Amino acid sequence: MDKNLFVALVIAIGALGPALAIGKIGASGVDAIGRNPEAAPKIQTAMILAIAFAEAVAIYALVVALIIKFV
């Protein structure tokens, strides 16, 4: 099979998980802030940190795709 197909699959599958996770984190964070507005700064900090960790998974998928493409 063609390497480009594998690269496309790695990027597609590798981006799906973080996209779903970021959506879930955002929805849960907005819900939590709606229930307890005075805790918004703490919730927002935890949300941003969790989104950064989820985004790191997508970056790892990108690195794997680049390794497949160029090696």
Whose tokens are 């794997």? That residue is 64
List the pLDDT tens digit at each of the 71 positions of the chain.
788 999 999 999 999 999 999 999 999 999 999 999 999 999 999 999 999 999 999 999 999 999 999 98
Look at the chain and report how many structural domains it folds into: 1
Identify the pLDDT of residue 34: 96
Q: Is the pTM of this model over 0.85?
A: no
CATH of residue 51's domain is: 1.20.20.10
Q: In the structure encoding, which two tokens stand for residue 9, read together? A: 């699959």
Instruction: Residue 63: give the domain boundaries.
Output: 3-70
Angle at 25 between CA 63 and CA 13, to 5 degrees: 35
